[in-house]
Structure formats: structure tokens, C-alpha cells
A and B are shown apart, each in its own frame.
Chain A
Amino acid sequence: MSWLIHELRLILRSRLSLCALLLLLALAAAAVGIGLHEVARQHQAIERVGPLQEQDAAAVAARYADTGDPGSHAYYTFYGTWDAPSDAAFLALGLRDVAPFVLRVRALGLQSQLYEGETFNPELALSGRFDFAFVLIYLAPLFVIALLHDLVSGERQSGRLRLLLSIADGGSLWRRRVALRYALLFACLAVPVVAGMLLSGASMAAMGVVLAVVASYLAFWCGLSLLVAARNWPTVANATALMGGWVLLTLVLPTLANVALTRAIPVHQGVDLMLAQRQAVHGAWEIPREDTMRRFYDSHPEWRHSAPLPDGFHWKWYLAFHQLGDESVADEVSAYRAGLQARQEWTARLGWLLPGVSAQALLHRVADTDLRAQLDYQDRIAGFHREIRQFYYPYLFEDRPIGARDFADRPVYEASPGPSGSVGLHALLALGLCWGIGLWGVLCAGRLGLR
């Protein structure tokens, strides 16, 4: 063990190394702190809107209580839905800062309500968040480079190389040094994350995945640094090559891939379905109301027994054509979602080539803040919206008045508690490739400095 203490002392005595390690620890801790703060803010917002929404519903109920008219209740009452951040959301805030995590819907057409945006500052979103994913994917490799780029060349330039190699076996010496630096870098990242996950009560499984991501991503960069070091270039050339690699892997190739992806899978059906749904809904005013009801009863035979429409306006007709409007764009909706999912899947596939993308995708999956999480939330809203419709239809189609007690029984959004996202096995396998590079680097370590 004496070598360990000796090497540790060497690292800590080097001002650059010590500063780098402390800075990484501070950045990771800050990112975890900022993430936890933001998650707490989102929890607070969700808690704030609950009572606010209740007051709003109570005001509607008070306004229409004496009418007993289920249609007015259905038309004017909004229902809150929310998507509470998962226990691991602080790691990678993802889409949560640009997509709504609280959304209110009512019994009218869902498709004109589901894509409502959130108020956020696009200029801030453009810069991105300072979360742990950012520290790991962008900054951590720079620290690996700072610590490892002159592993051998530094000794050579200071003239100690020959001496070192004469008293120790080169391979094991470099391996020991790299392993120690790797362990220190890992600790700087892992300690704040584990602390954050314990604080937020994330599951052991999530923690395991996150630590695996951190370990694998660092292994990739350490391996790459060793492979470059094995070329026996001078320090500056090492730094240039590694920084060039970092720029390619985290800045250039992902943006190029995004260009390719948006071109290969265009997604414009969103606007199409919105335009089509409006035409379908408003077109109902132009056709005989009985036609609309017939179409509605065809797909919803359970209300077929309802009394024929009276001469004047009737809410059941109004809500029926809203539902028909939603149903008429079902194909567009599934095409839109398929496009979004295809983009997500191709991004995951890209992870096999780009470790940064793979780590990013995995962290956001664990944090449950990616596109899939957003689509899941939309599914939950759609399910809840179905419940809202089911609640009002018996009153409307059986012409029953709705009383205060009935209204109190209205559906309440139950958020499925999402501890953290589940991670597919193949995504973890892609990370395994990182270890391939890491091991290759270690194998090359024996040749370091021998030229």
C-alpha cells in the first residue's frame, strides 16, 4: 500500500492536479445543489397549483350550483394534472424546463389542449441547464484530459522518465497512476451524486445505474487518454489531440447527428393535427346535429339509448362533436407520436457510437426527464381526460341534473408515483463499449514511454 500513499502524495503536491480535483468536486456539488433546488421549486409549484385549482373549481361550482346543468359544469371546470419530478430528476433536468409539468384540461377536445406550452425564457433554455449531466458529459472529460495528458510526456520532459522506468515496471506503474487518478475523479463526481440521491430518496437501482454511467464514461476518457499517450507525442500534441477528440465527440458529432436526424425524420404532423381537429370540431355546426349524434353513437354504443336531441342547443351534442373531433385526428396523433419516438430511438442508437450521447440518454432516462417521459405524461393526461368525459356523460346523456354532492365526486388526477425511469438493458450495453476503450487503453499502458 505504500505505493498508493506515495502516488497520492505526488498528485496532491502537484498544484494543477489538486486544483483540478477540487474544482471538479465543487462543480459537481454545485450542479447537484442546483438540480435539487430546481426540483424542490417544481414540487413547490405543483403544491401551489393544487389548492389554486380547487378554488377555481369551487368558484365554477358556486356559479352554476343552482342550475344543476351538467353541461356548464363540464364546459367551465378545469382539472389540474401534474407531473412530479422523479427522485433522480435533479441529475438531468432535460425537457422539464421547456415542457409543462402542470397542465389543466377540461372535458372539451383534448387535442387542442394537450400541446399547450409552458411559459419559460427561451434565451435561458438555449444556454441549457447547469445540472449534473452537464458536468459529467461536458466538463468531466476536460478534467480527465487535464490530469492525464502529460502522464508520460510530463515525466519525459522533466527528465525523470528513464529513471522511473529503470526502477519500476512501466506497465504497472502507468496502470497504477491512471487507476489512482481515475478513482479520484470518480470520487469527485460520485460523492456529490450519491449524497444528492440519498437526500432525494432515489432508489438503489437508480443509484447503481448512475454510478455505472459515471464509471463507464470516465473509463472511456481515461482509455482514450492512454491510447493517445501511447503514441508518445509531446505534451502539447497530446492535449491538442485529446481536446480535438472532446470537441468532436461532445460538440460537433452530436450536432451533426441532430441535423441528420431532423432531416431524416421530419415532424410537422403536430400542426396538421391541430388544424384538422379545428375543422372537424367547428364543422359540426354546419351538418345536421343528428348526423353527428349517429356517428358518436356508432363509436359509443353505450349512450345509444339517450333521448333524441331537443330543438334548441344541448350540451351532449356539443361534447359529442368535441370527442368526435379528437377521434377524427387519431391517425395524425399516432403519426406525430411515432415520429417523436423514432427520433428518440435513433438517438439511443447513436449512443453506440458517441459515448456522450449514450451517457446523456441514460442519465435523462433515469431522471425520467426525456422525450419519453414527456409522452408518458401526455398519456396520463389523456387517460385522465377520458375519466373526466366518463364522469359527465351519464349526466348529459341521461339528462340528470348535477348536484353539489355529485360534483364533489368528480375525478381527481392521481399522479402515478414515478420514482425514476426504467433503463433498458441495451442502453447499458452501449455503455459497455466505453469499457472496451478503457481496457484497450490499459492494455496499451505497457508500451508507454518505451520509445
Chain B
Amino acid sequence: MSPVRRIAREEWRALSRDRVAMLGLLLLTVLTLVAALNAAEHRRTADAERGRYQSQANDEFANQPDRHPHRVAHFGHFVFRPLNPLAAFDPGIDAYTGHTLFLEAHRQNGANFGDVRQSSLLLRFGQLTPAFILQVLAPLLLVFVGHNCVTRERESGTLRVLLSQGLGSGQVVMGKLLALLGFAGLVLLPALLALLWLAASGQAAWAPVLVLACAYAAWLLLWSLLVTLASTVFRRGRDALLGLLATWTVLVILLPRGVSDLAGSVVAMPTRFENAIHVEREYQALGNAHRPDDPKFAEFRDRILEQYGVTSIEELPVNFKGLVGTEGERRSSELFNRYAAEVFDLQERQNHLVDQYGWLSPTLALRRLSMTVAGTDLASFRHFLEQGEQYRYDLVQRLNRLQSGEITYADDTDPDKENRISHAHWQAFPDFHYQPFPVDQALRRAAPAGAMLLAWLAALASLTWLLGGRLGRAVR
């Protein structure tokens, strides 16, 4: 048996007798199981509820009576954001974003009814999910369990004995690291099983699941290295513990909040109120699409007349009111999308700023990677909103086409006529089907965060290697 493995085995034996280690491991395992079951159950019920609401909204849309198509465009439609299967592992921003989007003509609404506004302040303490446990609690357990792995030998004088038997100090440190890694493996196991189960049961794809598994394994490896390193560097166990606890507090608790706050104040976000007024102003300048005689649509009218080779809108074979509606919707959607993109870009600038601090706190890098791969980050939410907008645009334009094709201009401008068209038309409308954020794109987006984690790993590994080798000199 190699000396490294022998030292690891001895350390394992010590760990198994350590009450804190065993109690901590037991608690964390129970907690992970509770979190995994709860998160899976929450995802299942939330997704089922949203699915039920979606089919209710689909029914209500399809079961409208005969109506004027523009009435239908104002009746509008609801779409509900389905919950990504991997939200059962890392729900990310799900609780902080609305999941209900109301679609109507000439308006772009925000997603409403997020959990955060419907919860007491308890939600702000964090959510009990497997990701939270691995990100926040697991490193702490490794600190408690491993902070004295080398210092114990040093304080009791056994390190000197080991070294005098011809062991290299690097070998001692490697043995300790190996033992701690074994323990970290046990910590990771329940969450890993929950994750693999998501893939094996066919709910989630294998690629993101495996990437998440590797990322969290790297995360615990990183902390095992950090703990072993501290235990090598500090002379006394209590100093190593205090140093590691301070490091944990700064990296896991303090920096994520501080950096987020910083990003929020460096890149300020306009209120929805202000944006709505600016949009309204520009919208007025586009012309009123309800009025075919609006001068802002004169050029459009001339073009249409020329296209059909007629001299007045009354001679057109189609309903000009519907055409103006189509053109107005095109113009206003462009305007809305411009403003929406501005907001998204501001948000992305904020997130990019936070991401840069991943070099300072690997917690940020891991969180970015985890949320992105799980499909519960802002990009994935944006993906939903954009699909919702596309669906809204297609829906309204289809109704505008119905107005121009099914109703004559003479009827449509007669205030005494209701001009209802058959309800069979809306029954033929396609339902909203959310396409999840493509996995390969998500993986590509997560790559920089992965690189940061790897850089942290490489730096810590070489430091441990370097200082572990020098430990012998310090003792002698």
C-alpha cells in the first residue's frame, strides 16, 4: 500500500470516530434528502399548476363566442412559464420572476405573480434546495471536519514522527487531502443521486446533469483543497478553523451580496413607470392604428393603394382597417422590443459585472454555472419572455389578417355593425408551446464560469502541492 493511501486510511479512521464529522454528515444527508424531495415535489406541483392554468387559458381563448377579431386581440391570452426539470435541483431565480404573462394587442406586459411578492420575508433567508446545501452548507462541514487534518499531527508531534520515518511531507498532505475528498464524496452523494435520478427517470437531459455533477464535484474538491491548505499553513488547529470560517463567510455569504449590491448601484435600472411613459410617447408618435385616417399612416395607405392599383381605400379588395392594424402592430412591437431589449441589456450588464467577481469568489462562478446549466437563470427567463412576445405578435397579426380578410371596410367603419366573425377561427389558433433554452447554448454560456472554477482549482492545487512539500522544513 502506498504511503499516501495509508495516511488517508488512518485519517478516515479518525474521521469515522469524530462525532462532529459523523453528526454533520448525517444532518447534511437528511437535509439534502428533504431538500431534494421537497424541491422535486415543488417543481412537479408548480409545473402541473402552470400547465393546468395554461390549458384553462387555452380553453378560454378557444371558447370565445363569435367576436370582432380586434375584440379578441384585446381579450388577449395568457401564457405560463413552465418550470425546467432541473429546477428541482437548482430553482435559481424562479421564485423571483413572474410566471404569468398576459398577451394583448398594442401592449407588452411583464410577467407577474412571482413568489417573492407573495411570500413573507422568510424567502429572503434562502431556499432549501440541493444546490443551496452544496453551495453554502457543504463547504462549512468540510471546514469543521478537515481544518485540523494536518495541524492535529503537528500539534501532537506525530508529524515529526511520520516525517522521520522517511515520508515526504507532500505525501502526508496528499493523504490527508485524499481522506477529505472521500468525505466530500459522501457529502456530495445524496445530491448526486437526486441529480442522476432526474436524468435516469427521463425528466432531464444527461448532458446538463453530468455537467452539474462535475461542477459540484469540482466545488467540493476546491474546498477540500482550501481546507487542507489552511491546515498545512496554520500552526494551530484553532487558527486554521478561524481563518477558514472567515474565508467561508467572505466567499459564500458576504461577497455574493456585496457584489450584487454593487452591480445594482453601478448599473441603475429605470422603473417600469418611467419606461411606460417613454414608450407611450413614442407610441403616440407612431399613429393610432385604430383610425385608418390617421395622417401617420398616409404613406402606408398610398403604398397599399399603389400595390393594389386602386385610387381609394374603399376600392381595395381587403379591409384597410385590418391592414392599418397590422402595420401599427408591427411598428409598436418594434418599439416595445427595443425597450425590452434595453432593459435586458442593462440586466445583462449587471450580471456580467457580478460574473467578473467570480475570480474573487468562486461561489459566484459556481452559482452562475449552476443556474445557467439548470436553465433557471436570467437568460433562460429572457428566452421565455421572447417566445411569449413572438407568440403575442403572431396571435395579434393573425387576428389583424382575419379583420382585413373576413370583414369588409364598409362594414368595419359602420358604427352600427358589430362585425362578429365565427368562433371557429380562434379554435384553429395554435397553442403556446415553450421551447426550453437549448442545452448546447446553455453549456456554452456556462463555459466561462467553468473556466473560473478550473482556474481556482489549478491555483489551489499548485499552492497545496508547493506548500505541502515545504511543510517538512517548517517542522524540522
Query: Using a CB–CB distance below 8 Å, which chain A residues touch chain B?
Result: 16, 34, 37-38, 41, 45, 48-49, 52-53, 55-56, 59, 63, 80, 94-95, 97-104, 112, 115-130, 134, 138-139, 142, 146, 150, 235-237, 239-240, 243-244, 247, 250-252, 254-259, 261-262, 267-268, 270-271, 274-275, 278-279, 282, 285-286, 311-313, 339-340, 343-344, 346-347, 350, 356-357, 360-361, 364, 370-371, 374
B308 close to A (CB within 8 Å): no
Write out the residue numbers on chain B whose beta carbons fall within 8 Å of the beta carbon of A247.
137, 140
A-B contact pairs, 5 of them (CB 8 A): A115-B112, A122-B381, A256-B128, A258-B128, A282-B74
**When the two chains form their complex, are residues A100 and B93 in contact, meaning their CB atoms are under 8 A apart?**
no
Binds A, one of B94-102, B187-195, B314-322: B94-102
**When the two chains form their complex, are residues A259 and B96 in contact, meaning their CB atoms are under 8 A apart?**
no
Question: A239-B238, A251-B137, A255-B128 are known contacts. Are A38 and B120 too (CB-CB below 8 A)?
Answer: no
**When the two chains form their complex, are residues A274 and B100 in contact, meaning their CB atoms are under 8 A apart?**
yes
Residues 68-111 (chain B) with a chain A CB within 8 angstroms: 71, 74-76, 78, 92-93, 96-98, 100, 102, 109-111
A95 CA to B123 CA, complexed, in Å? 11
**When the two chains form their complex, are residues A116 and B257 in contact, meaning their CB atoms are under 8 A apart?**
no
**When the two chains form their complex, are residues B121 and A311 in contact, meaning their CB atoms are under 8 A apart?**
no
**When the two chains form their complex, are residues B350 and A124 in contact, meaning their CB atoms are under 8 A apart?**
yes
Write out the residue numbers on chain A whose beta carbons fall within 8 Å of the beta carbon of B122.
254-255, 257-258, 261, 347, 350, 357
- Which chain A residue has the least Cβ–Cβ distance from B98? A117
Number of interface residues of B (CB under 8 A): 94
Write out the residue numbers on chain A whose beta carbons fall within 8 Å of the beta carbon of B96.
98, 122, 125-126
- Which chain A residue has the least Cβ–Cβ distance from B284? A59
Most chain B beta-carbon neighbours within 10 Å: one of A117, A128, A270: A117
Minimum CB–CB distance from A372 to chain B (whole Å) comes to: 9
B447 close to A (CB within 8 Å): no
Main secondary structure of the interface of A (DSSP, over half): helix
B124 close to A (CB within 8 Å): yes
Write out the residue numbers on chain A whose beta carbons fall within 8 Å of the beta carbon of B29.
none
A149 CA to B137 CA, complexed, in Å? 21
**When the two chains form their complex, are residues A103 and B124 in contact, meaning their CB atoms are under 8 A apart?**
no
Minimum CB–CB distance from B112 to chain A (whole Å) comes to: 5
Most chain B beta-carbon neighbours within 10 Å: one of A119, A274, A311, A374: A119
B449 close to A (CB within 8 Å): no
Partner of B132 from the list A52, A63, A255, A278 (CB cut-off 8 Å) is: A255
A56 CA to B281 CA, complexed, in Å? 8
B260 close to A (CB within 8 Å): yes
**When the two chains form their complex, are residues B242 and A127 in contact, meaning their CB atoms are under 8 A apart?**
no
**When the two chains form their complex, are residues B120 and A122 in contact, meaning their CB atoms are under 8 A apart?**
no
Question: A239-B245, A282-B75, A343-B120 are known contacts. Are A117 and B38 too (CB-CB below 8 A)?
Answer: no
- Which chain A residue has the least Cβ–Cβ distance from B92? A126
**When the two chains form their complex, are residues B257 and A130 in contact, meaning their CB atoms are under 8 A apart?**
yes
Question: A100-B273, A127-B256 are known contacts. Are A239 and B241 too (CB-CB below 8 A)?
Answer: yes
Binds A, one of B160-168, B264-272, B438-446, B464-472: B264-272
- Which chain B residue has the least Cβ–Cβ distance from A285? B71
**When the two chains form their complex, are residues B123 and A258 in contact, meaning their CB atoms are under 8 A apart?**
yes
A103 CA to B276 CA, complexed, in Å? 10
Write out the residue numbers on chain A whose beta carbons fall within 8 Å of the beta carbon of B116.
95, 98, 125
B253 close to A (CB within 8 Å): yes
B51 close to A (CB within 8 Å): no
Question: A124-B264, A343-B119, A370-B120 are known contacts. Are A285 and B67 too (CB-CB below 8 A)?
Answer: yes
B327 close to A (CB within 8 Å): no
